């Protein structure tokens, strides 16, 4: 399976997260939590978010590696995938001066139906995937032309909440004791399950995308399946 290692890494990371949560549960009293428990609950957001971010980045890198391994002519890609396959061309267009505007524009459009096989960086999304809000997840999927994931609005809120609280702690806007004073471990466990669901769906989306050769035009899929 093309994503077996990615799945195994995800399970391992979330297992570590749950070990951490179990420890916090073991020191959490029934009544008002002391400061050291609140601190641990606040820091837990950083740990949980890091697992999600790593899964998303590893999945994208593996997806690009698998696509690159097929040595594909650019004109064989589905139209939406040009966002990725021609990224270097578009970056050149973005940074060009006025004098090169039309030349760089023509270069991008001519490349769409090119016989050339353009290099795609494995880390093309790395800068965009350092704060993974739910919209970031959906935008990343859309960039590949893949089907977006469908989850309950509550889960979407949880993803954004985890990112926001992680940033608050990691960037010093709030202290761990403040962030960790609101929710008990039972609630954190529920939120962890929701984050793990999103991670699993994200991997599954790209696994189906790769297995279906959905980055290719329909008329070229068999050609690469038989290669």
pLDDT score, position 82 = 85
Residue count of the chain: 227
pLDDT by residue for the chain (227 residues), tens only, comes to 789 999 999 999 999 999 999 999 999 999 999 999 999 999 999 999 999 999 999 999 999 999 998 889 988 989 888 888 877 666 655 666 666 666 566 666 666 777 778 888 888 888 788 899 999 999 999 999 999 999 999 999 999 999 999 999 999 999 999 999 999 999 999 999 999 999 999 999 999 999 999 999 999 898 888 76
* Domains contained in the chain, number: 1
Using CA of residue 119, residue 122, residue 123, residue 124, what is the dihedral sign? Answer: positive
Contacts of residue 33, defined as CB under 8 A and 6 or more positions apart, other chains included, come to 41, 181, 184
> How far is the C-alpha of 3 from the C-alpha of 5, rounded, in Å?
6
CA gap 15, 87 in Å, rounded = 36
How far, CA to CA in Å, does 150 sit from each of 12, 154, 156, 212? 25, 12, 9, 19
Domain carrying residue 178: 4-225
- Residue tagged 């290692």 (tokens): 5
- Phi, psi angles (nearest 5°) of residue 47: -65, -45
Which is nearest to 133 in space by CA: 105, 117, 155?
155
pLDDT at res. 186: 97
The tokens describing 223, both together, are 């050609």
Q: How far apart, in whole angstroms, are the C-alpha atoms of residue 99 and residue 57?
A: 37
The reported pLDDT for the residue numbered 128 is 82
Structure tokens at 193: 């399950």
Task: Give the integer Cα–Cα distance in Å for 71 and 209.
Answer: 17
What distance in Å separates the CA atoms of residue 195 and residue 20, rounded to the nearest whole number? 15
Query: According to the model, what pLDDT value does residue 93 have?
Result: 55
Among 9, 58, 39, 48, CA closest to 159: 48
Q: What is the pLDDT of residue 175?
A: 96
76 vs 64: CA distance, rounded Å: 16
The pair of structure tokens assigned to 111 is 């490349």
Global pTM value: 0.90
Neighbour count for residue 78 (Cβ, 10 Å): 17
- Could you give the residue ranges of the DSSP H alpha helices within the chain? 4-27, 35-68, 82-85, 87-95, 101-112, 134-144, 153-170, 176-179, 185-211, 221-225
């Amino acid at each position: 399976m093309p994503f077996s290692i990615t799945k195994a890494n995800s399970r391992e990371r979330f297992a570590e997260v749950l070990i951490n949560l179990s420890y916090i549960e073991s020191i959490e009293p029934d009544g008002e939590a002391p400061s050291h428990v609140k601190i641990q609950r606040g820091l837990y957001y950083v740990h949980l978010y890091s697992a999600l971010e790593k899964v998303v980045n590893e999945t994208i890198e593996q997806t690009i590696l698998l696509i690159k391994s097929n040595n594909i002519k650019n004109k064989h890609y589905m139209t939406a995938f040009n966002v990725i396959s021609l990224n270097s061309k578009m970056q050149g267009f973005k940074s060009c001066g006025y004098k090169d505007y039309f030349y760089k524009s023509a270069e991008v459009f001519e490349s769409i139906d090119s016989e050339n096989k353009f290099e795609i960086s494995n880390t093309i999304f790395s800068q965009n995937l350092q704060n993974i809000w739910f919209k970031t997840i959906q935008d990343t999927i859309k960039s590949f032309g893949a089907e977006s994931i469908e989850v309950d609005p509550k889960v979407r809120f949880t993803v954004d909440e985890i990112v926001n609280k992680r940033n608050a702690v990691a960037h010093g806007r709030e202290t761990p004791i403040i962030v960790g004073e609101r929710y008990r471990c039972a609630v954190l466990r529920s939120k962890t399950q929701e984050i793990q669901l999103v991670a699993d769906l994200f991997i599954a989306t790209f696994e189906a995308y790769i297995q279906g050769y959905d980055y290719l035009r329909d008329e070229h899929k068999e050609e690469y399946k038989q290669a």
